[in-house]
Structure 1
């Protein structure tokens, strides 16, 4: 698959899969700075885990803020990972290490994902949760466009637990754990062993609030010493239960 290149509104070049979605994520990350609110900070030398790295816009944003951070970026779906790799190479990001697997509550070398080539950031292990989003988009876009965006195919990808990665890479501290995994948020956190929680300093996550997921995540984080702020994602239609969660330590 040949990948395409575009110029973002800030004149940054990037490779992409779906143009509309890339512009939307640019707004979230660069314009709205949604990942750096409610006390989430970044310092020189910090270790960042970018879980659900997609094509790398978050990593590009962070690298522009501060070159002296170490980013570990996880993306399980190979066609998306290839674009992530192309963007890391395009911008000579020497401070980023890429992993072609995702994080969850188990180690599984052949997890099933639904990959949306025209809306790659929505690719998910939980396609049924996308039905609500599709309904909302049907109300604002024409049906052909929605059908185009939701053209999906089943692919296999590897997932691992966060603690297995901490152990394997001998990670002493994760200064920022960023999670955007389209429904697997709670599973990512369940993959943390009790003795590893103290290594994690800050968390920012996009949470799809299905089956009381936010309540479960908040309970888990509070029990591990985090202060939490939750806000509605301002760029999402108000009818979609998509929130940003910010967790910091006192």
Structure 2
């Protein structure tokens, strides 16, 4: 009996995984003009540069097959949701710029922060190619709990580079805080703060003064569970609830990662 139940559970998971992959594949087909080439690069795990050509006229250079996952997250799954016209958006962990470009196309003004050298190069190229210089301002900076120099680890797959991996090449990056972003850009408010920073989300938010957090209307982030105290989604959620936010959406992608959306109430 138990063996039969396990078999049913395994079969159910496989069906769910297959359904999800099919949905994402169809999403790419509807999204991209050159979807056959992109899917082939994904299947073969190609690590040479490629180009996304979108049906809506957008074009994006990318470096590795793993960045196709980023496109699926932004444009198919809508990990960070929709953006209202006229919004001020801060994109922390902008990578090659998928969310920044999406937000700018929706009419937002975007400040995009990316510390990894080659990812920042792709971000800058993608802004230029799409003539979005007036809507996206890129910064080759990290965002952290404290300003100053910090060791950043460049992993084989660039979207996974972080302050915490302890693997790959080490570079020194200059970091700013959320308070610095407000002050240096003369911001009165941030309509949407997007965070995908491989574990730095905790120190960024925990060390931001309450009067600065009050100026942020929405936070949408990918969380990454780290060893130690208060570096998990439960503690982060409790903290933001105490700061006057409501949790409006959550999705668990793996035991140590997922998506959280918060909105000020």
Query: 179, 189, 214: which is aligned to 1:173?
Result: 189
Aligned counterpart, 2:148: 108
SS in 2 for 1:106: coil
Q: Does 1:243 align with 2:233?
A: no
- Choose which of 67, 74, 97 in structure 2 pairs with 1:22: 67
Measured on the aligned residues, the alpha-carbon RMSD in Å equals: 1.9
SS in 2 for 1:207: strand
The answer to whether the 8 Å contact 1:104/1:187 transfers is yes
Cα distance in 2 between the residues matched to 1:231 and 1:84:
27
Contact 1:209–1:243 (CA under 8 A) maintained in structure 2: no
1:22-56, Cα deviation, whole Å (9 max, x unpaired): 211111111111111xxxx5322110000000010
Q: By how many angstroms is 1:63 displaced?
A: 2.4
Where does 1:124-139 land on structure 2 (aligned, <5 Å)? 124-127=162-165
Distance 1:86 1:191 in 2: 32
5 Å-filtered alignment, 1:1-250, equals 4-8=49-53, 10=55, 12-18=58-64, 20-36=65-81, 42-64=83-105, 66-67=106-107, 69-93=108-132, 94-109=134-149, 111-116=150-155, 118-127=156-165, 152-211=168-227, 212-228=231-247, 229-233=249-253, 238=254, 240-250=255-265
Q: Say if 2:90 and 2:111, in contact at 8 Å, map to a contact too.
A: yes
Instruction: Report the secondary structure of 1:181's partner residue.
Output: coil
Q: Give the TM-score taking structure 2 as reference length.
A: 0.75
Runs of 4+ in 1 over 3 A off after TM superposition: 8-12
Deviation at 1:191, TM superposition (A): 3.7
- The number of residues matched between the two structures is 212
TM-score w.r.t. structure 1 length?
0.79
Pair 8,31 (structure 1): closer, same or farther in 2 beyond 3 Å: farther
**Residue 9 of structure 1: CA displacement?**
6.1
In 2: Cα distance, 1:34 partner to 1:75 partner: 19
- Where 2:260 maps in the other structure, the secondary structure is strand
User: Does structure 1 retain, via aligned residues, the 8 Å contact 2:52–2:62?
Assistant: no
Unmatched runs of 5 consecutive residues or more in structure 2: 1-47
Say if 1:186 and 1:216, in contact at 8 Å, map to a contact too: no
The alpha carbon displacement at 1:16 in A equals 1.5
Distance 1:8 1:208 in 2: 30
The alpha carbon displacement at 1:122 in A equals 0.5
Which consecutive residues of structure 1, in runs of 5 or more, have no partner in the other structure?
129-149
Q: Which has the higher contact order (CA 8 A, sep 6+)?
A: 1
1:205 match: secondary structure: strand
* Counterpart contact for 2:94–2:114, Cα < 8 Å: yes
